[in-house]
Structure formats: C-alpha cells, structure tokens
Amino acid sequence: MSLKDQITEDMKTAMRAKDSERLGTIRLLQAAMKQKEVDERITLDDAAILAIVDKLIKQRKDSITAFEGAGRQDLADKEKAEMAVLQAYLPERMSADEVATAVKSIVAEVGAELGKTVGPGDMGKVMGVVKTRLAGKADMGQVSAAVKAALSS
C-alpha cells in the first residue's frame, strides 16, 4: 500500500472514530499534497509525500517555538498534537552516528566523482546528493551539520 493510500485510509478511520483533531491534521496533509500535485501537474510518489510531511513538521516546530515564546501554551499543545499525527507517516529516523557515517560515505563518493578532495565550497554538490538519499530518513538540520563537519575535516 502506498503512503498516499495509507493516508486516505487513516482519514476514513478518523472519520468513523469521530476523531476530529486527527481528521483535521490528515485533511491538512491531503490539502498540501493536492496543492503540490495541482501546482506541478504531477502525481506524488512516496518520497515527495515524505518531503511534504517533513515540511509540515518543520512548520509545526517553528509554530510551537513562537507560541511558547508568546505564552500561548494552548496553541503550542495543539501544534504538538498535529506534529505527533504527522510524524506517524515518517519512517524511523536515523541516529546521529548513522547520519554521520552516511554523510562521510557520500562525501567520499562526491570527491571521487569530482576527481578532487571536496571542501566547504562543495557543500551544495554534497547536499544535493545527501537530500535525495536521506530524505525522510533523517532531520535535514542534523544532516546539514554533519555535512559541514565532514567537509571541514
């Protein structure tokens, strides 16, 4: 079953259970998916859906920080609940050690392709490869830090 089908089934389950919070979050995710499909005239695959889920989770994290800073714990709690629903669609995240190991191997591959040692100026090339391989599997902020560390050493 594709991720898109799984999301649709979860929406139906939430409707039957009358779980309005979960239903609202799933509908928000489906609206973002549909918007992407219409804007780019494509059919989303699982990798593209994972990128959308990642983006929505990042938005929730930013909102939680803003709401807690403004003293609006009620809104922060709502965002946390939405984030928990969205995280169920992501695969298990890689640990920091796994990310560092994967980044080092990718840096070595990119260096071999370019025929030279890669340095901080090659971060864009490395990140392009890293994003395609680790999308949805790791937090991109953590990945970026690992790439910087690998290129500076």
45-66 residue pLDDT tens: 988 898 899 899 999 999 999 9
pLDDT of residue 40: 93
* Alpha-carbon span 140 to 4, nearest angstrom: 23
Q: What is the CATH number of domain 3-87?
A: 1.10.1510.10
pLDDT in tens, 120-136: 677 777 788 888 787 77
Task: Work out the percent of the chain whose per-residue pLDDT is above 70.
Answer: 93
Q: What value does the mean pLDDT take over residues 22-47?
A: 94
Among 6-15, 86-95, 134-143, which stretch is predicted with the lowest mean pLDDT? 134-143
pLDDT of residue 113: 67
Judge whether 62 and 106 are in contact, CB under 8 Å: no
Judge whether 151 and 119 are in contact, CB under 8 Å: yes
- What sign has the CA pseudo-torsion 143, 102, 51, 58? negative
Dump the DSSP string for the chain.
--HHHHHHHHHHHHHHHT-HHHHHHHHHHHHHHHHHHHHHT----HHHHHHHHHHHHHHHHHHHHHHHHTT-HHHHHHHHHHHHHHHTTSPPPPPHHHHHHHHHHHHHHHHHHHTS---GGGHHHHHHHHHHHHTTTS-HHHHHHHHHHHHH-
Mean pLDDT of the chain: 87
pLDDT of residue 12: 96
Residues of the chain with CATH 1.10.1510.10: 3-87
**From the candidate CATH numbers 1.10.10.10, 3.40.50.300, 3.30.70.330, 1.10.10.410, the one assigned to the domain spanning 96-152:** 1.10.10.410
Distances in Å between the Cα of 96 and the Cα atoms of 30, 55, 138, 145 are: 31, 20, 9, 10
Q: What value does the mean pLDDT take over residues 10-30?
A: 96
Q: What value does the mean pLDDT take over residues 1-15?
A: 94
Residues of the chain with CATH 1.10.10.410: 96-152
